[in-house]
């Protein structure tokens, strides 16, 4: 079974060589390629080309001078350019451990599901690589809000925010996707009838560079949520619905903290 590793990047030049080395080590006996879809301004694309000259696997890069639809758009462009129908999406900072790739491949290769997500919140998975308690809180709250907004679609998904997953792209209509931000997994699950399974993973520390998390990204994420859930409903209806979902999330967090029963 061939596989394309799709890696959307923005200013990750310091991670490229180590990432390619570790992916190559676990896929040495597999028909595989590594495809970077790069929106960087720090020469990450040049570093990919340099590393590709001595890599043990085929390594390609698509550099987008005019990034469209953020990380989600980069992933969809990677799907379209991939040499294989089976793709694994992962970040370029090594917080998604390449050593989990064979397990993702084995699970999606059974054929009973179309998408296998690596979850921080199932089994022995954990989110220890998040920088501080603030990011832990934001991550958990965002997950609760998201699952509350899509209870049917996400009833078997513990970590809809993960960016680490395997997918059989032949099972989805790429034209149906309308990526607007960095949570492409959520976009796929909500807009397409994919069969989903999960495996646990440990979210690792960043290898090099700086986190891209920001307030602007958070605003774009909640805009993506609103459009996915409510479409073109009136602003008053959207605000009311988001208020109800926020209330659910607050009650859950207070219950988890033991403040309320």
Domain range 3-256, its CATH number among 3.40.50.300, 3.40.50.150, 3.90.550.10, 3.40.605.10: 3.90.550.10
Instruction: Report pLDDT digits (tens) over 48-103.
Output: 999 999 999 999 999 998 888 888 899 999 999 999 999 999 999 999 999 999 99
Domain-wise residue ranges, the chain: 3-256
- pLDDT score of 26 more than 80: yes
Instruction: List the one residue out of 86, 40, 83 whose CA is nearest residue 63.
Output: 40
The chain-wide mean pLDDT, for the chain, equals 82
Tell me how far apart the alpha carbons of residues 160 and 114 are, in angstroms, rounded to a whole number. Answer: 15
- Please report, for residues 18, 84, 117, 221, 256, the alpha-carbon distance to residue 196 in angstroms, rounded to integers and kept in the order given: 30, 20, 7, 22, 27
């Amino acid at each position: 079974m061939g596989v394309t590793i799709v890696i959307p990047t923005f200013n990750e030049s310091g991670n490229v060589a180590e990432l390619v080395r570790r992916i190559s080590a676990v896929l040495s006996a597999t028909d595989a390629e590594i495809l970077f879809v790069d929106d960087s301004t720090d020469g990450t694309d040049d570093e990919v080309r340099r590393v590709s000259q001595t890599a043990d696997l085929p390594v390609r890069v698509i550099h987008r001078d005019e990034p469209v639809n953020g990380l989600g758009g980069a992933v969809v462009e990677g799907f379209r350019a991939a040499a294989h129908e089976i793709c694994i999406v992962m970040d370029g900072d090594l917080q998604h451990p390449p050593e989990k790739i064979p397990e993702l491949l084995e699970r999606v290769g059974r054929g009973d599901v179309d998408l296998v997500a690596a979850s921080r919140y199932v089994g022995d998975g954990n989110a220890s690589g998040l920088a501080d308690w603030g990011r832990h809180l934001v991550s958990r709250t965002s997950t609760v809000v998201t699952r509350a907004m899509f209870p049917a679609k996400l009833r078997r998904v513990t970590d809809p925010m993960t960016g680490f997953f395997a997918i059989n792209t032949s099972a989805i209509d790429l034209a149906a996707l309308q990526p607007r931000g960095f949570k492409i997994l959520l976009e796929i699950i909500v807009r397409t009838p994919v069969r989903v399974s999960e495996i646990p993973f440990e979210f690792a520390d960043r290898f090099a560079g700086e986190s891209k998390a920001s307030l602007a990204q958070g605003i774009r994420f909640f805009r993506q949520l609103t459009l996915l859930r409510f479409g073109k409903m009136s602003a008053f209806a959207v605000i009311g619905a988001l208020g109800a979902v926020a209330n659910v999330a607050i009650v859950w967090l207070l219950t988890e903290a033991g403040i309320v029963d």
